[in-house]
Structure 1
Amino acid sequence: MCPFGANRKLASIPSHDRSPTEAQDRCRRHRGWRTLLGLLVGCALLTGAVATDLAGVVRLAEQRYGPPARRDVLNWLELIESARGLDEQRQLALVNDFFNRRIRFDEDIRLWQQPDYWATPLETIGIGAGDCEDFSVAKYMTLKALGLPVSKMRLIYVRARLGGPPGGVVQAHMVLGYYATPTAEPLVLDNLVGEIRPAARRPDLFPIFSFNGEGLWVGGAASSSADPTSRLSRWRDLLARMRDDGLE
């Protein structure tokens, strides 16, 4: 039973030309980023990306977190542009793989000096690290930017059993669920298991509640029981900080 319920050839080049100076190299990289950013901004204006001022988002990332963050945010925006228009299964795989490969897991207390902090995608990509909520939120917001309907996604709080019995440990965890239809078994996007699997193949997860931008569900309930922005203060705070980041 599904635990989540329904729902020139080199030799011809003079040797002194083969290795550009550091300044030349920086200039070329800068021109490349500007070209990419210009393309992304132009496409975003036509299709409605994750941010209305992409150049501002990239500048903010570099100001806060340094030049590597600029590169990483540009890679993220490039993902959004290149994946738009693909089928949903391919979008899920690309987004899941992007964050699982690029973001390092770490605890909130070390990253943000808070016991429980939900980072914005810009914050997570900027520092290159996050916990389970940060992975899930970043995937959710990226898929939303790709045009995936919010109604097909839920952020799911679960109890996760780490390690098999008898010595397994159970701890709170968050994953992203994708529902192809309202009554479909969800696919689970998780930072603990890289492969996207149906919920029935994740017996290590026990759902507690789930939510998205439209509703909140307890356990495997079929209908929403509340407005998430009124019941979840961290969700409300996250959305406000995303607006401050120039996202949403």
Structure 2
Amino acid sequence: MFFILAIGFPVQAELPDWQQYFQPAQLNRLEQRFGPDGVARVQALEQWLLAQLAREATTAEQLEAVNHYFNRLDFISDAEHWGQADYWATPLETVASGGGDCEDFVIAKYFALRVLGVPPPNLRLMYAKAIELNQAHMVLLYLNQPDAMPKVLDNLLGEIRDGDARPDLVPVYSFNAEGLWRARAFDQGVRLKAGESGVDLWGDLMMRLAQEGEG
């Protein structure tokens, strides 16, 4: 069961209009880092988001579409991809570079669903222990109400399933821009990557997102 307990966490400001991240100045900076192929992937993402916004899709259809879109990217470890033990890439960094690890996929899915109108309280990024891999793993949760059984969006499993249908995952903690929740199953041998909560990595990510959106 995916039990979660609310604790205090600083509220992050709302992101500005998402399309400002795709303006010429931002694309030029991305081209300097990732080349023309990277910019082409980012522009394709913008067009895909616009197409999704034009659809009269249900939330379930949006979840499926976003999960599939980002799961197509290559899985690459942070050490290989960024030369760091742990780095939470922005969605544009992930797409422009053509891949990422589980945290990068989840972050990209989270913000894509935000663009498509899914409210922040319905989404949580969750650290868990992947039992079969015997390591920490991150997935995205969707809850249609606070006490609902979450839907799990995961790069390890293409099919979206309810949390109680994922016995291979032991919850550790979950968070979004509004709060941090610690699972009651916290003491399951999972070592977190930044202190006890990953808040530092989330704060660094939000800072770089703000920089990406500057003209």
Post-superposition offset of 1:109: 0.8
Cα pair 1:6 1:186 within 8 Å, conserved: no
Give CA deviations for 1:62-83 in whole Å, capped at 9, x if unaligned.
2221111121111111121111
Distance 1:90 1:208 in 2: 28
User: How far, CA to CA, are the matches of 2:207 and 2:78 in structure 1?
Assistant: 19
CA distance in 2, matches of 1:174, 1:68: 28
**Aligned position for 1:219:** 183
Q: Is the 8 A contact 2:106 2:139 kept in 1?
A: yes
Of residues 27, 43, 59 in structure 2, which corresponds to 1:58?
Answer: 27
Matched pairs, number: 190
> 2-side partners of 1:60 and 1:220: how far apart?
43
Q: Could you list the runs of 5+ residues in structure 1 that have no partner in the other structure? A: 8-47, 163-168, 222-229
Q: What code does the residue aligned with 1:62 have?
A: E
Letter of the 2:158 partner, please give it. G
Q: How does 1:1-248 map to 2 (within 5 A)?
A: 3-5=1-3, 49-55=17-23, 56-84=25-53, 85-101=56-72, 103-162=73-132, 169-219=133-183, 232-246=199-213
2:97 is matched by which residue type in structure 1? I
Task: Give the Cα separation in 1 of the matches to 2:165 and 2:52.
Answer: 27
The 1:130/1:53 distance shift into structure 2, 3 A limit, reads closer
**What SS does the aligned partner of 1:52 have?**
helix
In structure 2, the CA distance between the partners of 1:203 and 1:160, relative to structure 1 (3 Å rule), is: same
Kindly indicate whether the alpha-carbon contact (under 8 Å) linking 1:158 and 1:207 is maintained by their aligned counterparts in 2: yes
| Alpha-carbon distance between aligned partners in 1 of 2:138 and 2:30, rounded to the nearest angstrom | 26
**Partners in 2 of 1:58 and 1:220 — Cα distance?**
43
Structure 1 window deviating more from structure 2 (55-64 vs 128-137): it is: 55-64
| Structure 2 counterpart SS, 1:73 | helix
Give the Cα–Cα distance (whole angstroms) in 1 for the partners of residues 198 and 38 of structure 2. Answer: 33
TM-score in terms of structure 2 length = 0.82
Quick check: which has more Rg, 1 or 2? 1
1:188 is displaced (CA, Å) by 0.4
Residues 237 and 53 of structure 1: CA distance in aligned 2, closer, same or farther (over 3 Å): closer
Offset at residue 6 of structure 1 (A): 6.9
| Secondary structure in 1 matching 2:147 | coil
Q: TM-score, normalised by structure 1?
A: 0.72
**Is the helix fraction higher in 1 or 2?**
1
CA separation in 2, counterparts of 1:54 and 1:145? 13
CA RMSD after TM alignment: 2.0
- CA drift of 1:59 comes to 2.7
Change (3 A) 1:99 1:187: same
How many angstroms apart in 2 are the aligned matches of 1:123 and 1:236?
16
What secondary structure, in the 3-state scheme, does the structure 2 residue paired with 1:180 have? coil
Q: By how many angstroms is 1:148 displaced?
A: 0.8
| % same residue | 44
Larger RCO, structure (CA 8 Å, separation 6 or more): 2
Taking a change above 3 Å as real, the CA distance of residues 191 and 231 of structure 1, as seen in their structure-2 partners, is: closer
State the distance in 1 between where 2:148 and 2:173 align. Answer: 17
Q: CA deviation at 1:184?
A: 1.0
Q: Is the 8 A contact 2:4 2:183 kept in 1?
A: no
Task: Provide runs of 4+ in structure 1 moved above 3 Å.
Answer: none
CA offsets 1:132-183 (integer angstroms, 9 cap, x no match): 1000001001111111101000000000022xxxxxx411000000001111
